[in-house]
């Protein structure tokens, strides 16, 4: 869910479409959108900024780690 919120907030920050249009497209109301991008939701904006900069790290699933270990043996 957090990933979806980040995507919606980042879409609004790109300023390509109006917030109303984004909300209609996402099926949410503006009253729901605006709190996501406000101070209590700073972590969404910070995560979005890091994502745009490519400064993110994804936690690998244990099955992925096992597969990579097997490849390197």
pLDDT of residue 50: 72
Please answer whether residues 11 and 45 qualify as being in contact, where contact means their C-beta atoms are separated by less than 8 angstroms: no
pLDDT of residue 57: 59
pTM across the whole model: 0.47
pLDDT of residue 60: 61
| Residue position matching structure tokens 């996501």 | 36
Domain segments of the chain: what residues? 2-72
In 10 A of CB 60, how many CB atoms?
Answer: 11
Q: Please give the Cα distance from 37 to 51 (Å, whole number).
A: 15
Burial 30-48 (b: 16+ CB within 10 A, else e): eeebeebbeeebeebbebb
Q: What is the mean pLDDT of each run of 10 residues along the chain (73 residues)?
A: 77 85 90 70 67 63 73 75
């Amino acid at each position: 869910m957090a990933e979806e919120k980040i995507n919606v907030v980042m879409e609004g920050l790109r300023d390509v479409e109006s917030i109303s249009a984004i909300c209609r497209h996402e099926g949410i109301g503006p009253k729901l959108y605006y709190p996501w991008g406000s101070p209590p939701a700073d972590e969404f904006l910070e995560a979005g900024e890091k994502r745009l900069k490519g400064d993110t790290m994804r936690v690998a699933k244990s099955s992925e780690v096992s597969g990579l270990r097997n490849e390197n043996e």
